[in-house]
Amino acid sequence: MCGIVAYIGKKEAYPILIKGLQRLEYRGYDSAGVALLSNGNLNLYKKQGKVANLEAFTVGKDVSGYAGIAHTRWATHGEPNDKNAHPHYSESEEIAIIHNGIIENYDVLKEELKSRGFVFKSDTDTEVLVHLIEDIQKKEGVKLAEAVRLALLNVTGAYAIVVLSKNAPNTLVAARKSSPLVVGIGKEGDFYLASDATPIIEYTNRVVYLEDEEIAVVDLNEGFRLWNIQDEEKTPYIQELEMKLEALEKGGYEHFMLKEIHEQPRSIYDCFRGRLNAKEGWVELGGIKEFEQKIVNAQRIVMVACGTSWHACLVGEYLFEDLARINVEVEYASEFRYRNPVINEGDIVIAVSQSGETADTLAALELAKSKGATILGVCNVVGSSISRITHAGSYTHAGPEIGVASTKAFTAQVTVLTLMALAIAHKKGTITETKFHSMLTELEAIPAKVSEVLLANDKIKEIALQYKDATNALYLGRGSSFPVALEGALKLKEISYIHAEGYPAAEMKHGPIALIDEEMPVFVVATAGTSYEKVVSNIQEVKARKGKIIAIVTEGDQQVKNMADAVIEIPATDEHLVPLLATVPFQLLSYHIAVMRGCNVDQPRNLAKSVTVE
């Protein structure tokens, strides 16, 4: 949460910072602000609301300068208003700071500073840090970087910060702990800093990801230097990123979410490209190869994740248990980390995360690692924190996902978990050769089948029009379509603000059936497979109570078609792979309903893409 971006060099900083904030707006959009060094002045502008509000606010103001820091906020401490927006000034207004994270001991520090006469202008935890830096610099007579280091020694919590001072006009000082920060090494001796590489990539692909407790100083005369807070100098590891700028643009679509839904044939293909070959009959995930035997021998796999990624894990549970016969437990990372979970020797803990930065998932992994588990990651963002702390892992290769609602990340996660389950099942001998080969062939056919599903867009739009004013909705599925139901419900509620619940179809009669009346749309996955007849019975139970049934069925289905109010057909596939197809109509349905209700689909209220606080 919160996006930070900074620039120092020979170009005008303001346009770079504004564009950077727009790219990072998915991380939070409660308020935005910028501080710029111009002719010896440190000008600071901030405004509640989106980056567009900030832009409007700065019209006619002095936004010149070659060094600046900027921030888009997802509020934690202090409500989203102008005064709590970042950057924050120090007491003398000579230093400004932007921060992503939470200073946990801010209360104690604030009281101490207040008792010494410091006046606070905001309710944030961040302001404490900038006062502390200035106080130390004045008292100790040290350079800005050293003052930042000494201040951070007093802080507990999470931070990614960038500090700009009137008295050090050629320098930016940055540091991170548990919140991500990337430094881009520009082509003209200039530097870009940001929460992730998206604001940087159009200027340079040479980047350094800061590690926990590292402090970076970028200086127009002295270049880039790196320390840790123990004052040990480090050698920066410069990586070359392959990310393409087009991946960050809407590419003609009205919203990122719609673009990302339509990218799925490609993103699923990219996910298995080079990792499976149906003709030759192999599947291999290079990233976890070294740990394959450990997984084969494992008595138990624990999967930890949040939100949509947790739903992907539930699909993974079906795959691993059925194909590889390994006991799987799927845990909400936030619950797992605060229990005293039993981790046995030989347990494998797999974290699934699009961003690779989700604070709870990261903390759950650290806990599992400390208890001796082998920890693996399934992440989308290359170089993210989770991908760096795990023993091994597999990237999903879905490409940047900008819409806050996860779409292509989910199908890519399910694809990677399918590949993993197949690889382990094959090695373990728990899958027949015939089944193995037919599943590989089916998996290779999935991108083309997703393209077919996308052709139902107009029909889905009609259904959306009919149910856009619903106040509640139920989503039902059985087996691995139960997580599809959960994911369908989450998509609807998070972007259209309609209350929706996902249930295993058979559970309905243990409570939720009481909700059914002629107003209630019930979205059901009723595709061909083991539980088809059971789901048909559940549909009848809903119809008997006058509920509206909108069903996802396998092409050619007649039985459900005769009972349902509407059906969306998907191509036939192996039962294990149905989630990869059945999820897509639910994504489109939520998208259209949200657009029809006038909601901001890419930036739904109160949400942020990357949840880097607990």
Among 404, 439, 570, 613, binds ligand M6R (CB under 6 A): 404
Annotated catalytic, 428? no
- Between vectors from CA 444 to CA 533 and to CA 317, what angle results, nearest 5°? 55
Options 249-257, 285-293, 305-313, 453-461: segment touching ligand M6R (CB under 6 A): 305-313
Residue 306 in contact with ligand M6R, rule: CB under 6 A = yes
Task: Please report where in the chains the tokens 């430094």 appear, as a residue.
Answer: 183
Among 31, 308, 394, 415, binds ligand M6R (CB under 6 A): 308
Among 31, 90, 334, 355, binds ligand M6R (CB under 6 A): 355
Residue 588 in contact with ligand M6R, rule: CB under 6 A = no
Length of the chain: 614
Q: Supply the minimum distance, in Å, between the C-beta of residue 298 and ligand M6R.
A: 23
Which 127-146 positions form the footprint of ligand M6R (CB under 6 A)? Answer: none
Options 90-98, 133-141, 398-406, 549-557: segment touching ligand M6R (CB under 6 A): 398-406
- H/E segment holding residue 165: strand 157-165
* Residue 550 half-sphere exposure toward CB, CA atoms < 13 A: 24
Q: Supply the minimum distance, in Å, between the C-beta of residue 489 and ligand M6R.
A: 11
- H/E segment holding residue 426: helix 408-428
Annotated catalytic, 2? yes
Which 488-527 positions form the footprint of ligand M6R (CB under 6 A)? Answer: 490, 494
Query: Closest CB to ligand M6R among 196 and 494?
Result: 494
Q: What is the pattern of x (binds ligand M6R, CB under 6 A) and - over residues 251-290?
A: ----------------------------------------
Q: Which two structure tokens, joined as six digits, stand for 417?
A: 């978990």
Q: Closest Cα to residue 307, out of 360, 258, 267?
A: 360
Query: Closest CB to ligand M6R among 490 and 568?
Result: 490
Residue 178 in contact with ligand M6R, rule: CB under 6 A = no
Residue 243 in contact with ligand M6R, rule: CB under 6 A = no
Do the bridges between strand 95-103 and strand 300-305 make them parallel or antiparallel, or are there none, so unpaired?
A: unpaired
Query: Closest CB to ligand M6R among 100 and 531?
Result: 100
Task: Spell out the long-range contacts of 293-298 with Cβ–Cβ below 8 A and sequence spacing 24 or more.
Answer: 293/427, 294/346, 294/348, 294/374, 295/326, 295/348, 295/420, 295/424, 296/424, 296/427, 296/428, 297/346, 298/326, 298/346, 298/347, 298/348
Q: Supply the minimum distance, in Å, between the C-beta of residue 1 and ligand M6R.
A: 10
Residue nearest to ligand M6R (CB): 307
Q: Supply the minimum distance, in Å, between the C-beta of residue 585 and ligand M6R.
A: 16
Query: Closest CB to ligand M6R among 145 and 378?
Result: 378
* 504: DSSP letter: E
Q: Closest Cα to residue 411, out of 457, 385, 448, 450?
A: 450
Residue 32 in contact with ligand M6R, rule: CB under 6 A = no
Question: Which residue in 2, 271, 313, 599 is the catalytic one?
Answer: 2
Query: Closest CB to ligand M6R among 147 and 248?
Result: 248
DSSP string covering 523-571, please? Answer: EEE--SSTTHHHHHHHHHHHHHTT-EEEEEEETT--HHHHH-SEEEEE-
Question: Which residue in 46, 50, 408, 609 is the catalytic one?
Answer: 609
Options 24-32, 199-207, 292-300, 301-309: segment touching ligand M6R (CB under 6 A): 301-309
Rounded Cα distance, 149 and 234, in Å: 14
Provide the 3-class DSSP secondary structure of residue 505: helix
Rounded Cα distance, 572 and 453, in Å: 11
Among 38, 124, 334, 361, binds ligand M6R (CB under 6 A): 361
Residue 307 in contact with ligand M6R, rule: CB under 6 A = yes
Instruction: Assign 3-class secondary structure to 25-57.
Output: HHHCCCEEEEEEEECCEEEEEEEECCHHHHHHH
Residue 594 in contact with ligand M6R, rule: CB under 6 A = no
Provide the 3-class DSSP secondary structure of residue 221: coil
CA Rg value for the chain: 25
Options 40-48, 87-95, 124-132, 350-358: segment touching ligand M6R (CB under 6 A): 350-358
Instruction: Decide: residue 538, CB within 10 A, 0-12 exposed, 13-18 middle, 19+ buried.
Output: buried
Query: Closest CB to ligand M6R among 396 and 527?
Result: 396
Residue 593 in contact with ligand M6R, rule: CB under 6 A = no
- What are the two backbone dihedrals, phi and then psi, of residue 447, each rounded to the nearest 5 degrees? -55, -45
Cite the active site residues.
2, 609
Which residues would be at the binding site for ligand M6R (CB under 6 A)?
Answer: 306-309, 353-355, 358, 361, 404-406, 490, 494, 610-611
